[in-house]
Amino acid sequence: MSPTLALTEELIALSSITPDDKGCQRRLIELLLPLGFVCETIESNGVTNLWARRGTTAPVFVFAGHTDVVPTGPVEQWESKPFTPTHRDGKLYGRGAADMKTSIAAMVVACQEFIAAHPDHQGSIAFLITSDEEGPATDGTVVVCERLQERGETMDYCLVGEPTSAHILGDMIKNGRRGSLSGHLVIKGVQGHIAYPQLARNPIHQCAPALAELAAEQWDSGNEYYLPTSWQMSNIHAGTGANNVIPGEVTIDFNFRFSTASTAEGLEARVHAILDRHQLSYELQWTLSGLPFLTPRGTLSDALSSAILGETGVQTELSTTGGTSDGRFIARMCPQVIEFGPPNASIHKIDEHIEVRFIDPLKNIYRRTLENLLAKPA
């Protein structure tokens, strides 16, 4: 068993359902201290975070990730126990196998190998690990970044170990993520008997034209890296349950997944303008859960793409698809943030798994990336 596979299994066996780290970071500290890392545990409201750094000079290369996993779902539906690492048909099964304990194990072993070969490497290597990525993400990476900024620490490159590959290892990396802006909209009407509509005001009828306009609106055209911004309704509810009552209000939940071609403030203003133009009586609460970020092609993406090609022969694709990640917090202080990890088809599912054949190549890609950026010229 390779060291990367062994560490992956060790981490999977720790049932670190968010936000409980279950000792994962303590194990990482045990492995990083002998490599010369200075390790700091940062706790916030029951969330455990790790900041570990080797070196004091620039450039600062950061491995980022999370030890927490999503709940298992019905355990009886798993073919094997979710926190008992199990091999079947060339795959390693267990909660966190793909998202993202394999990546964390690969990062640590990549550092062990790189430092053994390049003990006097350039710059610094760091780890930013949280147990609050799968939860509300309010006491994890964002807290660590705030702490680092307060004391003047900087980052130059950050590689986040999210599972980004689509079909085979290395076919896709994320050089950005869309922002997420949600709205909770309540349209006010006047409840009444359905046989006397002149004595009521039906909010469903009133809001329908506005919703149609919102759904048809082109919010932006995207850009080289992003598809156009998307507005989608997720929930709509009205009525008392009776078929003879005009409801007094209708509630609509919607979400923008928006690119760097738009701003949250601009999108909010345009929504209000449409609602106001239709003369609706409404209340609207906004929740901004993440701003978009983008790392254009550059030093980090080139180093990672070269590492992937050298290890696998795969020409990788830059992408900004998918949901939000902790990269949105790191991008506030780090100019180059890229996400790369194993295939993501099974993440958050029953019987989450990773193909064993991808585990050591992932570690090698991380090591090659360090070599491309921090190894001293021969």
Helix (H, G, I), strand (E, B) or coil at 114: helix
- Provide the residue count of the chain: 378
Residue 351 is a catalytic residue: no
Distance between CA atoms of residues 265 and 288, nearest Å: 10
Contact predicate 50/43, CB 8 Å? no
Q: Which of 68, 99, 352, 371 is catalytic?
A: 68
Contact predicate 352/291, CB 8 Å? no
Bridge partners of residue 235, in order along the sequence: 253
Residue 249 is a catalytic residue: no
Q: Which of 133, 162, 311, 352 is catalytic?
A: 133
In angstroms, the Cα distances linking 95 to 26, 64, 253, 333 are 19, 19, 31, 31
User: Which amino acid does the sequence have at 220?
Assistant: D
Record the tokens describing residue 172, joined without a space: 């896709």
Q: For residue 320, with 0-12 CB atoms within 10 Å meaning exposed, 13-18 middle and 19 or more buried, which class applies?
A: buried
Alpha helices in 118-151 (DSSP H): 141-150
Cβ neighbour number for residue 375 with a 10 Å cutoff: 14
Which H/E stretch holds residue 253? strand 249-258
User: Taking each helix axis from N to C terminus, what angle separates 264-277 and 203-216, rounded to the nearest 10 degrees?
Assistant: 140
Active site residues: 68, 133
